A and B are shown apart, each in its own frame.
Chain A
Amino acid sequence: DTGVSQNPRHKITKRGQNVTFRCDPISEHNRLYWYRQTLGQGPEFLTYFQNEAQLEKSRLLSDRFSAERPKGSFSTLEIQRTEQGDSAMYLCASSSSTSGGETQYFGPGTRLLVL
């Protein structure tokens, strides 16, 4: 169990550019979540996968955001045409539906700064 990993840890981009983040969950976990955390706030739910199926999306996930989990393992979160308001920490978490499925384990996050 190596924990949840996220790459990159930091990303600086210019407004209008596209960015992609990767999350590798704990290997036996079939559930994967994305959250966004802005300064001084708690994380906010973005989307949830069970295996490769995206089962829920928040209204926060505008059309510029897309998430995938093609083989039910790692996941990517892409933001197109970034805006300054997208600057935040993007957190990934995973859990297992077969054991303690209610408990999510978080990665270190990807901090995005849009200039």
Chain B
Amino acid sequence: AQSVTQLGSHVSVSEGALVLLRCNYSSSVPPYLFWYVQYPNQGLQLLLKYTSAATLVKGINGFEAEFKKSETSFHLTKPSAHMSDAAEYFCAVSKSPGTYKYIFGTGTRLKVLA
């Protein structure tokens, strides 16, 4: 069965500091992996996705993530945090081929300190 673990339900960083949000997955087949961001009372916006092409994936707003099969990880990073990055971030996995339904992690709330 597929699952996703996000370590750290809350992460605080200073403005301008490195952002690192952790995601580990388990999947019996090659997965598709995603990071979404959710602002208060809004839906989810796609940040980036891994679909078995390049292992280093660049997304919107300066975020990127690296797929590491040996570590079953797909951590999200951004070199320099901005106040507008404060939001909740969700990692998700889906199975290919299949229904492509997502299994989400429990989310990490990012706080950016001035």
Enumerate chain A interface residues (CB-CB to B < 8 A): 4, 6, 31, 33, 35, 40-45, 48, 55-56, 91, 93, 95, 101-109, 111
Contact = CB atoms under 8 A, between A and B. Distances in A.
13 contacts: A31-B100, A33-B102, A40-B106, A41-B107, A42-B104, A43-B90, A45-B101, A91-B43, A91-B44, A103-B34, A108-B42, A109-B41, A111-B41
B103 interface: yes
Contacts, number: 59
Nearest to A101: B100
A56 B99 contact: yes
Given A55-B99, A102-B51, A43 B104 contact: yes
B90 A42 contact: yes
Contacts of A48: 99, 101
B94 A105 contact: no
B46 interface: yes
Contacts of A41: 106-107
B100 A104 contact: yes
A108 B38 CA distance: 10
A90 B9 CA distance: 21
Nearest to A103: B49
Contact of A106 (B44, B99, B107): B44
A42 B100 contact: no
Nearest to B100: A102
A2 B9 CA distance: 32
Contacts of A45: 101-103
A56 B106 contact: no
A13 to B, nearest CB: 18
